[in-house]
Amino acid sequence: MKHLTKLVAILIAITEFSYADQDIWKSKGPHVRIKKNDRDGSYVVFKRTTDDRKLFKISKDKKDRIKMKAAYYRNPKGYLSTGRIFDAQGTLIYRVRYGYDKETGLLIAEDMFDARARYYYPPSVRDKKGKRVEMPIRRVYYFYDADGNQSKAISLVPKKGKFAADVFKKSRDTMDLYSKEKSFDTSTSTNPLHDNPFEQEKKEKRRRTPR
C-alpha cells in the first residue's frame, strides 16, 4: 500500500510544474497545460495543435469567466509569426507580428497593431507597391548578449500629443514617431514564449538529454 501511495504521489508530481513565480502548472494530456495563480484563483489555459503550429491562450478568473483569448501561429519553419488577441466577448482587438534576425534567427522585434482602427505613417511613407504603411501602436525590440541570451528589451509607443506630420517632417526616420515606454516589463509583451509551458518543457527536456 505504501508503494502504491508513493507511485500515485510521483504521478501527480509529474503532471504539475512549479516555477519561481509560485504559479501552479498542471498537465491535461500532451496538448493542454493549465497555469493557476494560487493568490487570486485565476488561471490560464494553454492549448496547442498536434503539429505545434498553433498555440491558444485563454485567461479566466476564479469563477471560470473568460477575461481574454489569444491565438498564435508558427510558420512552416517553426518560428512564431503572428498573433491575434481577443477580448472576453471574442472581439479581435490586437494583431501582432514578429520579426527575426536573418543570420541568427533570434526574435528581435514585435509589432502590435490595433485591430479596431488602422493607424498609418505619414502619407510620404509608402511600401514597394506605393501603398501607405500601417503604423504599430506598440513596438518591442529584443537584445541579446554575446552568448545569445536575451539581455534586455525596450518598448516604443507613438509620441503623446504630437501629430505625425509635425514629428516626421524633421526626419525621414519613422522611429522619430515613437518614444520609449516607461516601466516596460517583458512579461507584459505579447510574446507567448515568455510563459509558454510547452517551450519550458522543451528546454527542460533538452537540458536532461545527454549529449
Residue 4: per-residue pLDDT: 35
φ and ψ at residue 3, rounded to 5 degrees:
-65, -40
Joined grid coordinates for residue 89 = 466577448
Looking at residue 198, what is its pLDDT? 77
In percent, the amount of the chain with pLDDT more than 90 equals 45
The DSSP result for 159-210, as a single string, is PTT--HHHHHTT-S-GGGGEEEPTT--GGGSS-GGGT-HHHHHHHHHHHHS-
What is the per-residue pLDDT for 24? 60
pLDDT in tens, 39-98: 888 999 999 999 999 999 999 999 999 999 999 999 998 899 999 999 999 999 999 999
pLDDT of res. 112: 95
- 121 contacts 133 by C-beta, under 8 angstroms: yes
Provide the H-helix boundaries in 60-163: none
54, three cell numbers? 498553433
Average pLDDT over residues 118-147: 92
User: 14-23, 92-101, 195-204: lowest mean pLDDT where?
Assistant: 14-23
- Rounded Cα distance, 209 and 50, in Å: 22
Strand extents, DSSP E, 38-170:
43-48, 54-60, 66-74, 80-87, 92-100, 107-114, 138-144, 150-158
**What pLDDT is recorded for position 63?**
93
CA gyration radius, the chain: 21
Q: What does the buried/exposed string (b/e) look like for 82-114 if buried means 16 or more CB atoms within 10 Å of the residue's CB?
A: ebbbbeeeeeeebbbbbebeeeeeebbebbbbe
Neighbours of 171 (CB within 10 A): 10
User: pLDDT at residue 16 above 80?
Assistant: no
- In whole angstroms, what is the distance from residue 174 CA to residue 135 CA? 9
How sure is the predictor about 163, in pLDDT bands with cuts at 50, 70 and 90? low
SS3 assignment, position 86: strand
Q: What percent of the chain has pLDDT over 70?
A: 78
CA distance 76 to 54: 11
Provide the pLDDT for residue 7: 34
